Structure 1
Amino acid sequence: MRVEDVDGMRVATFGSGPRVIIAVHGITASLMAWRAVARQLPEGWSLVAMDLRGRGHSAGLPGPYGLPRHAEDVLRVADHAGAGADAVLTGHSMGAYVAALAAAERDFSRVVLVDGGLPLPLPEGVDADAAMAAVLGPALARLRQTFPSAEAYVDFFRAHPAFAGNWSADVEEYARYDLTGPRDALRSRAAGEAVREDGRWMLLESDRIAAALATIKAPLSLLRAPRGLLDQEVGMLPDELAASWTARLPGLADEVVPDCNHYTILFDERCARTVADRLTSGR
């Protein structure tokens, strides 16, 4: 992994192949979310991932936040990486929505949305903050917590329902990368203000997300996890939601990656191998 800063944004390149994938992480995540997928790439490929503004080692970058701002940052990183029209763009969770906005502005060889990217209907009478709390649960809770040691933070992740029985060295490194603060009051690097602003935008700007999806010229595919953020039986993007969008966008290829949840679609070795294959084979 080669790490550099691009206009204050932390960027990592996994691999050294000439074919480039630009990868965007989720709402409280970091570039380390892509490490397991990058390791599964065939020879000749490299994956470029960034810590989005307000996350990871880009946490100090100022707002305003919002998904269009992240899309601008993604395209700037793509320029820096020399990613032309033959590059692949992908995003996971919130990163899939960012990828959709970026792909509406520039051509890529294909765009792969990983368990995200489809507008999520906001239930009538429910405000955006309440909807975020219901969907993100422990991910939001950890932003308000401090931890006495790195081991305590790792244990917090171990107890997460998504990782019970699915622990790996990649998940542990992902957790440790996210830590900052004094030794006895460690906390997540993700800025609460950024997460709240981005979450509201994602829930309140469904029309803009839909317009972006309709504008994308590149082959567009969706990889879905059958289980949710807390490993519940219904995924973040249920079958009926996906079906409504494949009907609306005939070019959208929808695939469920079996036996994974919203997080392990990137971290489980078998699931990560499937994601890497779809990124590089065009299937």
Structure 2
Amino acid sequence: MNSFTVEVPGGALEVHRWPAREPGAPVVLVVHGITANGLSWGRVAEHLDGRVTLLAPDLRGRAGSAAVSGSAGIARHADDLIAVLDHVGADRVVVAGHSMGAFVACVAAVRHPSRVRSLVLVDGGVGFPVPDGVDVDAVLAAVLGPAMARLSMTFPDVEAYHAFWRDHPAFAGQWSAAVAAYVEHDLTGEPPALRSSCSLDAVRVDGTAVIRDPETLTAVRRLPVPAVLLWASRGLSNEPQGLYDAGRLAAAGLDPERVTAFEVPDTNHYSILIGDTGARAVAARILAT
């Protein structure tokens, strides 16, 4: 894996690249979740095993792209993805997104249909809007739990940050070198006051879009390309109810000719990406598109 930067309005995105073993292999662009970073795709990269060139940007306001100025927002992230494709000279690619990244992938496909061949949506992309007047911070705190709480915390050393994530109920039994690299990439500052690099303002802007913005919420119903949705059977804190289930997806009224949904059993919202079972399923779906 190597990293490079791409100029975008407001600064430079950091992009992580797992190169293909063979020249001419497909390029796949992957998009992380709301408080994550591009290295969250490390386990998927292991299972892809060099059969594609995998590009994973840190979205603005996170990790290596934390210093990019200007507002975040789903449409802004979607346009940043196209800047990444332009930088590497990629034309029309598979785009995969996890959680909020799935919404970014959908919006990118709608805004830039000539650049997206197909989508792999990983436990995200289908929204359920909340009523006006509901406090966005309260919704984000309730949904994201520890992932949101850590943004206002400090940690004495890297091991303490590892321990924070190892104790997260959704990370239990999922720890690996790739996961350690992912969570360490989030850290900024110096001991004994290490903290997450993820911008709370960016999370608020992006979270508001996911629960209220019509362009973001309707993108999955306006897709110009086929998509596969892989959904986890359990939730963000490994609770039995996940973000999606068969009933919720049926109620969402997705076009079955455009979006095909599959459950990935024995996974939660995080392990569907960072765990072996989930990452293997995601990689297989990327290779099949």
2:285 aligned partner: 278
CA contact (8 A) 2:31 2:38 kept: yes
Within the candidate set 12, 17, 24, 2:16 is matched to 12
Structure 1 runs (4+) greater than 6 angstroms displaced? none
Stretches of structure 2 lacking an aligned partner (at least 5 in a row):
none
Equivalent residue letter for 2:3: V
TM value normalised by structure 2:
0.92
Q: In the aligned structure 2, how far is the partner of 1:79 from the partner of 1:189?
A: 27
* Residue matched to 2:3: 3
CA–CA distance in structure 1, aligned partners of residues 236 and 51 of structure 2: 33
Structure-2 residue corresponding to 1:184: 192
Unaligned runs of 5+ in 1: none
Conservation of the 8 A alpha-carbon contact between 2:4 and 2:15: yes
What's the CA shift for 1:25? 0.3
- The answer on whether the counterparts of 1:51 and 1:57 sit within 8 Å (CA) in structure 2 is yes
CA distance in 1, matches of 2:203, 2:132: 22
CA distance in 2, matches of 1:263, 1:128: 22
Aligned position for 1:92:
98
Letter in 2 for 1:127: D
Higher deviation after alignment, 9-18 or 243-252 = 243-252
Q: How much identity, in percent, do the aligned residues show?
A: 44
Q: Mean alpha-carbon deviation: is it higher for 170-179 or for 271-280?
A: 170-179
Q: What is the aligned partner in structure 2 of residue 54 from structure 1?
A: 61
CA 1:69–1:173 in structure 2 vs 1: closer, same or farther (change >3 Å)? Answer: same
Give 1:165 shift. 2.4
Give the TM-score taking structure 1 as reference length.
Answer: 0.94
Query: Does the CA contact (< 8 Å) of 1:246 and 1:252 recur in 2?
Result: no
What is aligned with 2:203? 195
CA contact (8 A) 2:211 2:217 kept: no
Report the counterpart of residue 149 of structure 1 in structure 2.
157
Report the alpha carbon displacement of residue 123 of structure 1 after superposing the two structures with TM: 5.3
Deviations 1:106-164 (A, max 9, x none): 23221111100001231576322211111011111100000111111111011101012
User: Is 2:135 the counterpart of 1:131?
Assistant: no
Contact 1:56/1:189, CA 8 A, preserved across alignment: yes
Give me the whole-angstrom Cα distance separating, in 2, the residues matched to 1:61 and 1:55.
Answer: 9
Q: Determine the C-alpha separation between the residues in 2 that align with 1:160 and 1:59.
A: 24
Residue 265 of structure 1: SS of its match in structure 2? helix
Instruction: Give the secondary structure class of the aligned counterpart of 1:4.
Output: strand
Determine whether 1:218 maps to 2:225: yes
- Indicate the larger mover: 232-241 or 3-12: 232-241
1:204-256 deviation per Cα after TM superposition (whole angstroms, max 9, x unaligned): 11x32243223322111101011011000111223322122354454210001
Cα deviation, residue 175, structure 1: 1.3
C-alpha distance in 1 between matches for 2:256 and 2:137: 29
Task: Give me the CA root mean square deviation.
Answer: 1.6
1:111 lines up with 2:119 in the alignment: yes
Aligned residues: 280
Q: Which moved more, 1:107-116 or 1:121-130?
A: 121-130
1:257 alignment partner in structure 2: 264
Aligned: 1:204 with 2:201: no
Shift of 1:78: 1.6
Matched residue type, 1:219: P
Residue aligning to 2:171: 163
